[in-house]
Copies of this chain bind each other. A is one copy, B any other.
Amino acid sequence: MKITLIGAGNVAWHLGQAFCQAGHQIAEVWSRSPSNAQELSKILPHSHINEDLYLADSEAELFVIAVKDDAIGSVVEQLILPENALLVHTSGTKSLAELEHWVEVYSDVPLQLGVFYPLQTFSKQAAINFDEVPICVEAANTHTEEILIALAQSVSEVAYLVNSQERRMLHLAAVFACNFTNHLWALTQDMLEEADLDFSLLKPLIKETTRKALRAEHPAEVQTGPARRHDHSTIDKHKALLRNEPENYQKIYKQLTDSILGYYDESESF
């Protein structure tokens, strides 16, 4: 497929390379930041830079918007595409309906619309095995759906049809599973540094906990700790220790401990 990348950030960076490796060709690269566009175009054979969003003469079969969620609307506002061009965004939070709305407001020609959302966290420095990145695909009609699923399968072993409501749910789940856990690790490192202890002491335990949770049928099966055991004596000692920490530590400890206590029946505790 001939593909045009609109955006040259972390997502476009990895997606562009994955497309090329799968035998597709990147026609144009556009970015609000000319230096980003240049940097990305340099590593994508035969691609060239488009300085604006006038793409009516493009030979690309697919236009991929890979910009920050809040910038999608203003990109569509400036975008001029060939009639019936296939346009997708790569956002986890924006619905297909939002894209349809912007296109209705701003585009002079009818377009085929979809979503091509790679469910992974990307940064330019970190290499990614794209084979394993789940691609969540959605489209307004079956024909477009088939094109996007085939494209997803060409770059990844995990292609799913996921509608906007499901994608919103996945995004919320990712906040719990990734953003919140990362923040807990940040708080942990601060707490340990305050006590002159090295966070790296905990790293093997964190790795093994993650490994176990992801291998289990359900992470609930491998839950450990005082709340799992309904061990109120240890919980009370922890709460006393936390009196020296900022208030958010105490609140988070209470909330998550209460949630674990409520999750497991006391009679099953060990």
Cβ 8 A contact of A256, one of B93, B180, B190, B227: B180
User: Are B218 and A186 in contact (CB-based, < 8 A)?
Assistant: yes
Interface size on A, residues (CB 8 A): 85
Count identical subunits in the complex. 2
Given A176-B253, A186-B218, A263-B183: A204 in contact with B120 (beta carbons within 8 A)? yes
Q: Is the interface of A mostly helix, strand, loop or mixed?
A: helix
Cα A197 to Cα B197 with chains together (Å)? 40
Q: A219–B186 contact, CB under 8 A? A: yes
Asked if A213 and B182 make an inter-chain contact with CB atoms under 8 angstroms apart, the answer reads yes
CB proximity of A155 to chain B, nearest CB, Å:
14
Within 8 A of B (CB), among A212-229: 212-214, 218-220, 222-228
30 A-B pairs in the complex with CB atoms less than 8 angstroms apart: A93-B234, A119-B204, A121-B209, A126-B208, A158-B201, A158-B204, A166-B195, A166-B196, A168-B237, A170-B197, A170-B202, A173-B191, A173-B197, A177-B184, A177-B202, A177-B205, A178-B224, A179-B228, A181-B184, A181-B185, A181-B209, A181-B213, A182-B219, A183-B219, A185-B213, A185-B219, A206-B210, A210-B210, A248-B262, A252-B256
**Residues of A bordering B, CB below 8 Å:** 69-70, 93, 119-121, 123, 126, 128, 132-134, 136, 158, 160, 162, 166, 168-170, 172-192, 195-197, 201-210, 212-214, 218-220, 222-228, 231, 234, 237-238, 241-242, 248-249, 251-253, 255-256, 258-260, 262-263
